[in-house]
Amino acid sequence: MSLTRLSPAECDEGLARLPAWSLADDGLAITRRFLFSDFAEAFAFMTRVAILAEKADHHPEWFNVWNRVDIRLTTHDAGGLSRRDLALASAIDRFAG
């Protein structure tokens, strides 16, 4: 998958297909907060995402507190958003239900 940084128009187009995700303030990443019923459910979600990310060789930046998981996706090698981020976000959304 491409490691080329997306243009602003491509970012807008990609985010239109990912309505639960937001462009980060720096414009270099997309973010989403996930809320679960408890820590075990949040951790199970993180485990599923970790396996998916490892297979894709594209790893999220994330933060977890109890039932909350905040995810930030960016492609460091591209200097910002790439198609890899959009693809991983779409795959993560399938786990979120």
CATH of the domain at 57: 3.30.1360.20
Contact 50, 42 (CB under 8 A): no
Q: Is residue 34 situated within a structural domain?
A: yes
Q: What is the pLDDT of residue 2?
A: 57
Q: How many CB atoms lie within 10 A of CB 10?
A: 15
- Rounded to two decimals, the pTM is 0.92
Q: How many domains does the chain have?
A: 1
Asked if residue 13 has pLDDT above 80, the reply is yes
Q: Is residue 2 situated within a structural domain?
A: no
> For 29-49, what is the mean pLDDT?
97
Percentage, residues of the chain above pLDDT 70: 97
> Within 13 Å, how many C-alpha atoms sit on residue 41's CB side?
10
Q: Is residue 3 situated within a structural domain?
A: no
Q: Which residues sit opposite 47 in a β-bridge? A: none
If phi > 0 it is left, if psi is from -120 to 50 it is alpha, else beta; for residue 94 that is alpha
Q: Is residue 68 situated within a structural domain?
A: yes
Enclosing domain of residue 67: 8-95
Asked if residue 96 has pLDDT above 90, the reply is no
